[in-house]
Structure 1
Amino acid sequence: MYTLYSTHTSGKIVTLYIHSFKPKRIPDFALNDNSTVSDRLKFYRISCGLMQKEIAAQIGVDRTTYARWENNVLSAYPLDKLTLLAEIFGCKVTDLLDEYNKFLINGQGSYIRNLQKKKSLTRCRLAELMSVSVGRVKDWESERKRVSMKCYVRLMEINK
């Protein structure tokens, strides 16, 4: 058990909270290229000494929504909120992103068109390799539809 104590002005030591686990320290956690957006959000929030409800209020979402972002429930995040978070945390938006979200924000359509050109793939052939319809590839190119994480992984394999 780990106990957090406080000393009152009267000089008495009072138990504030008893943890049943060893609190994780920030230096024990390091960001790397494989860190998820959730990991990065949690890292920066804790580094700034802020609570989830404080961050949520500052960016205009409820606490449960922000908590879901930190618990890896989403695969893609709203750019307007990420921009606000980067300002709060004092970092660049790209510091908060994993490779998949960088792909989405940097323009999936141009990436797909460049991949087709580089590998000499027609839209139809790319659709076959991706196991999707030609219409889906067209939607990705025009950015009417977002590429799913599963399809992103396939695209990266094709690009090797």
Structure 2
Amino acid sequence: MGLKIKKVIAAALSLLCISIPVPAAAAESEVSNTEEENNSETVIASGESSDMNSYIKWRVTDDGTLYVGPKKDNWLYEVSTGNWCDVSKDPYYRDVYTPIGGPWEIYNPTKLVIEDGITEIGICSFYGLPLEEIELADSVNIISDYAFLAVKAKTAQQL
């Protein structure tokens, strides 16, 4: 008898969980693949992240430029691009970083613009991207380990 009641309660809770709407802002990273005009450039993908201290917005334009900036409603003093690596230990207890790739990775951007308000570039944020040019805002004061590993940019400048 007790097992039957537990099954009924479990089924009811499952149905309740399925029917509760989750707002889009609660998603870890939200990506849009629609084309839209933005100051004479065509945005081919954009998204937002609200994970820990990574309250960022990003967009990739048709000319291959990736823009990363803070969300307008940001209330944090420090804003990171986020960490895009899994960290594990090898047999000698050293950290081993395995890149998992940011949401912008599939668009193969060739130029990166970090906008004013971003204070930290997280671990493996732009690992292996085919970047040729990098522009960093003056607000960037921390560049974490492996942030630009395997990036062969020809130019980099601070704005």
Give TM class, smaller chain. under 0.3
Structure showing the higher helix proportion among its residues: 1
TM-score with structure 1 length normalisation? 0.24
Higher strand share goes to which structure? 2
